Structure 1
């Protein structure tokens, strides 16, 4: 099954709108047993959906179970991965311990900074891709995905259980991204403008964002705030979700936004379709600086040792000079 985020990236946005929601397609995978990802000399140049830091190292995940890592941001090696499913997101808590998630409800763990991975979960028969993962420590973490799928672990992923089946099962929405704010609260976003917050990561309450299209990501912003972004260039900022309204940010674009990173406590860089980049500074400003970050559709951005790197349908790229 594929999220709209994956379809947009893989097909350069040409066939992506599909009525403004998250489109899922039946997986054609027939094998019950997981198949290891094949080695590819072009793994760092293919479709990659997320990139993260593992200490000084960079790790990226994407199509066909490909995971690549680099210690300098220029030379990339392919990791050993026991599945060939599309991988959508990853989270590291230090220079060694990390997790990756993806289609077929795959959850992978690495204990060596992304060089090798062990399979923790694989349920292709469920047709529920996992779309984001967030770990707080080497033991506590969350994995979220389609149709309200929300998993929680307290033992490093050896066992997973539903964190709060009530709210998410009732809404039935695809959950696309989860983050922890600077004040310790949690916010997640999904399709059809769905959003929720939690004080402890266990009990969740719905948030109201003035938008009914898909939201693909959310990032901490300032001391208590958050920025949510998604379909057709929509970006919303709240100085304190749950107590203050979400303000629409004037992005001057209708290109979808898929990823982002903090440049400072109150400045974000967002990236998206057709090389899009946006700098967002301050909720009150309600205006973003439009630019171009790379070639093709971009899914994520991260700070490397020598500058910012983006990943997307054309693999790993250094951020365009004009956007540094």
Structure 2
């Protein structure tokens, strides 16, 4: 039989557990509302994306960490960021104006070269934005069966909440740009991120494959996705049209210049086209590990990097790739050139400057 004392202890324990649970619940703050924590270890933590803002380097990574360097990656400072969501990619069309994207559909903007950031959009808003946009189109074209489907997709996203990450971002100017992500998630802005227009109806991606990377070659804009998906912006049709490729695995990046484009991805696969994607040749990388980053170096050579830290180099054009042994191979998620032409990579161990021939 339970004594009165035991009963009081049991009752008190229940009350304390309830109060503790309420305290923990009240202490919870969504990562979209929690500023990134300043940490001296951030520079050595996982970083996912990097770019240049003028001469400055800007890198993004986990827990909302954004770092910037004004001395070619010798020293880094941590930016002020209003979210703690993991960040995947960053772009600066000018030395001051930049955008970063990441988990929970977050879009951040900086107007001071990456030192401070503000939130322009997140996944809690994207579904509602889609419903409003496509419902207006459905009302205007009641006979078009596409619009109700996209309205329903927006409703699903709104119901599921902010759980869909944005994977890449690209801006052609300080006003016009795109953000892309999982399940064909894509939006465009024409006013520097003050407003965003859903673009799902402007992609040849009926199966809703993930959109992994977006990049310009100077004469064309491409989106690389999973299961062989490659899209190219068609100015006449005002949409991202499908480009047929001979590989059905996932692509993780696009790299090129006017007249030449390389797409790369799983298992060391690299494709090259010199006719705008009408035909492709498969390059022999000699590797079977995923290629995750690429850059054109100061000498005009392509350099591709893998998740294992291996590096492939072309000589001039991208027609042939050669493996270059690294003394300290580390996983690479992104790479960029400094203002003086040096290469800096980021990955699971932070940022580091490369010594390359």
Please name the residue that 1:249 is paired with. 283
Task: Tell me if 1:194 matches 2:229.
Answer: yes
1:203 positional shift: 1.2
Task: Tell me if 1:52 matches 2:86.
Answer: no
Out of 270, 278, 283, the residue aligned to residue 235 of structure 1 is 270
User: 2: CA distance between counterparts of 1:285 and 1:257?
Assistant: 17
Please name the residue that 1:42 is paired with. 41
Please name the residue that 2:245 is paired with. 209
Q: Report 1:278-289 matches (<5 A).
A: 278-281=312-315, 285-289=319-323
Please name the residue that 1:97 is paired with. 97
Report if the CA contact (8 A) 1:150-1:165 is conserved: no
Please name the residue that 1:4 is paired with. none
SS of aligned partner of 1:165: helix
Select the structure that is richer in strand: 1
Rg bigger for which structure? 2
User: 1: CA distance between counterparts of 2:40 and 2:315?
Assistant: 39
User: 1: CA distance between counterparts of 2:164 and 2:175?
Assistant: 24
Per-residue CA deviation, residues 236-274 of structure 1 (Å, 9 max, x unaligned), is 11112333x111111111121111111258521111222
User: 2: CA distance between counterparts of 1:265 and 1:224?
Assistant: 17
Report if the CA contact (8 A) 2:222-2:254 is conserved: yes
Per-residue CA deviation, residues 195-230 of structure 1 (Å, 9 max, x unaligned), is 011133931211111111111000123x22211011
Aligned Cα root-mean-square deviation (Å): 2.1
> What is the count of residue pairs matched by the alignment?
291
**Long gaps (5+) in structure 2:** 1-27, 125-160
Out of 130, 135, 139, the residue aligned to residue 175 of structure 2 is 139
1:164 positional shift: 4.5
104-113 or 282-291, which deviates more: 282-291
User: 1: CA distance between counterparts of 2:272 and 2:325?
Assistant: 19
Q: Structure 2-normalised TM-score? A: 0.77
**CA separation of 1:108 and 1:49: change in aligned 2, threshold 3 A:** same
Q: Structure 1-normalised TM-score? A: 0.84
**CA separation of 1:199 and 1:167: change in aligned 2, threshold 3 A:** closer
Please name the residue that 2:67 is paired with. 68
**CA separation of 1:294 and 1:140: change in aligned 2, threshold 3 A:** farther
